Amino acid sequence: MNSDKGKLVPTDIGMIVNDFLVKNFSSILDYNFTTKVEQDFDDIASGNEEWKDMMKDFYKDFHPKVEDVKENAERESGERILGTDPESGKQVSVRLGRFGPMVQIGTVDDEEKPKFASLSPDQQLSSITYEEAMDLFQLPKSLGEYEGEPVEVNNGRFGPYVKFGSAFVSLPKGVDPLSVELDDAIVLIKEKQKADAPIYMYKDLPVQKGKGRFGPFIKWNNMFINVNKKYDWDNLSDEDIVELIEIKIQKEIDKVIHNWEDEGIRVEKARWGRHNIIKGKTKIELPKTVDAAKLTLEDVKAILDKNTSKKPVSAT
């Protein structure tokens, strides 16, 4: 769901999932089912019904239905056919793809590979028009050059953006990418350059500042460091920056319990008093009952051999 001025607006994925559930599990989504379950819970609470019998009765029909849907139900995509492309004569349609809602010219049955374009965040599969869909194929749109680098505007998985060389600059919410000209793009590029400009150099590496989903931060040496309310975010001093970085470096050092560099294996502190075994992209969370400090390299290798997922391992 998306929020729109205090309202909850269903997304394309939400509507497609809802339609799929209604189509395949109509009895579960029926209001009468909820009423019956509430009555069953009341009977269980009052001792007039055994909860095991109630669950067995439910799963007797539900589990086979799930297996049947899993094996036989058609994949939902929310596809709508909008018309025909005048140049190629191929079908124009919209549907939900791997990276979100998109418009497609052609089908998989055509000799040539279909063309694709992402819908913008304010467009929906259920309401986009043929004309709006075809406009999306005008992207990417070349705007010219700035500082010797090509500039273009496009629509991507996370919304419309300006590409400047290898840099990406998101367009403000509500801005139509087709309306953006070079002068508009240059303003956005300059704002991005100013925001990304180093505010300090520490050990010959730049320090940048920004705000993310978890609040204000500084970035140094690919390390993101949260800036808490103890510091004046708008007026960070050089001393503040050095302190933040050095505290973070020390925390990173302190969290390492074992580091077998030749093996590429580390054991580090994690949240809630737990520890992680890390080797490359593999991370295994250990339960609190395991004394990480006493683990040997052989112990850790044995755990890695037994676990190929990130699921918590049993205490040894």
Is it the case that residue 15 has pLDDT exceeding 90?
Answer: no
Specify whether the backbone of 60 is left (phi greater than 0), alpha (psi in -120 to 50) or beta: alpha
pLDDT at residue 213, rounded to an integer: 81
Mean pLDDT score of the chain, rounded to an integer? Answer: 89
Query: H or E element: which one contains 168?
Result: strand 167-170
* Banded model confidence at residue 292, pLDDT cuts 50, 70, 90: very high
Q: What is the pLDDT of residue 308?
A: 61
Residue 196 has pLDDT above 90, yes or no: no
At 253 the pLDDT is 93
The yes-or-no verdict on residue 141 having pLDDT over 50 is yes
Instruction: Give the pLDDT mean for 52-63.
Output: 91
When mean pLDDT is compared across 120-124, 145-149, 262-266, the lowest value belongs to: 120-124
Give dist(CA 251, CA 15) in Å, integer: 45
- The CA distance from 169 to 19, in Å, is 36
